[in-house]
Amino acid sequence: DVKVTQSSRYLVKRTGEKVFLECVQDMDHENMFWYRQDPGLGLRLIYFSYDVKMKEKGDIPEGYSVSREKKERFSLILESASTNQTSMYLCASRLGTSGSTDTQYFGPGTRLTVL
């Protein structure tokens, strides 16, 4: 079974803090993704990475950056947290070798609250 883990289930930070959200997958997947989920808005893609050190902006990258130094780990960084970044953050991974038919597998999510 694919396992995607996220470093924290719940996180509370203050406005202006730098926040790191970590995601690790154990199935040697090439592609990794960060989404945020907000009520009434569904899942929106922030950034994704199709390979080590490679990254692409998703639909809502503003205020975020990412890092992928190792294949199994994909980090989401909030350079200066703001209250409108309070959300559920979801990491996902996908094998990536056979195009879009690869399913994305999600981690349990991190509920981030910015005060």
Partner 1 sequence: DQQVKQNSPSLSVQEGRISILNCDYTNSMFDYFLWYKKYPAEGPTFLISISSIKDKNEDGRFTVFLNKSAKHLSLHIVPSQPGDSAVYFCAASLNSGYALNFGKGTSLLVTP
CB 100 to partner 1: min, Å = 4
CB 51 to partner 1: min, Å = 11
Residue-wise DSSP of 20-86: EEEEEESS--SEEEEEEEETTTEEEEEEEEEETTEEEE-S--TTEEEEEEETTEEEEEESS--GGG-
Nearer to partner 1, 58 or 63 (CB): 58
Nearer to partner 1, 3 or 18 (CB): 3
Nearer to partner 1, 15 or 52 (CB): 52
The partner residues of 13 in beta bridges, in order of sequence, read 114
The footprint of partner 1 (CB under 8 A) covers 4, 9, 31, 33, 35, 40-45, 48, 50, 56, 58, 90-92, 94, 96, 99-101, 103-109, 111
CB 13 to partner 1: min, Å = 18
User: CA end-to-end span of the chain, whole Å?
Assistant: 37
Nearer to partner 1, 18 or 60 (CB): 60
The pairing of beta strand 87-94 with beta strand 19-25: unpaired
